[in-house]
Amino acid sequence: MSTIIFKAREIVKINGLADKITLIQGKMEEIELPYEKVDIIISEWMGYFLLYESMLDTVLYARDKYLKKDGLIFPDKATIFVAGIEDGEYKEEKIGFWDNVYGFDYTPLKETALSEPLVDTVEMKAVVTDPTAVLTLDLYKVQPSDLAFSCPFDLVARRADFIHALVAWFDIEFTACHKPIRFSTGPHTKYTHWKQTVFYLKDVLTVEQGEKVECSLHNRPNEKNRRDLDIKIEYRLDTQDPTRQAEGTCLYKMC
Across-strand partners of 253? 230
116 catalytic residue (yes or no):
no
Pairing verdict, β 246-254 and 181-184? unpaired
- Under DSSP, the state recorded for 94 is H
Please check whether residue 230 is in contact with residue 189, taking contact to mean a CB–CB distance below 8 angstroms: no
Please check whether residue 155 is in contact with residue 84, taking contact to mean a CB–CB distance below 8 angstroms: yes
* CA–CA gap between residue 129 and residue 239 (Å, rounded): 16
Q: Which of 29, 32, 36, 53 is catalytic?
A: 53
Q: Which of 29, 44, 89, 93 is catalytic?
A: 44
**174 burial class (0-12, 13-18, 19+ CB within 10 angstroms)?**
middle
Specify the 3-state DSSP secondary structure of 112. Answer: helix
- What count of Cα atoms within 13 Å lies in the side-chain half-sphere of residue 54? 22
* CA–CA gap between residue 215 and residue 250 (Å, rounded): 11
32 catalytic residue (yes or no):
no
Quick check: bond before 180 cis, omega within 30?
no
Question: Which active-site residues does the annotation give?
Answer: 44, 53
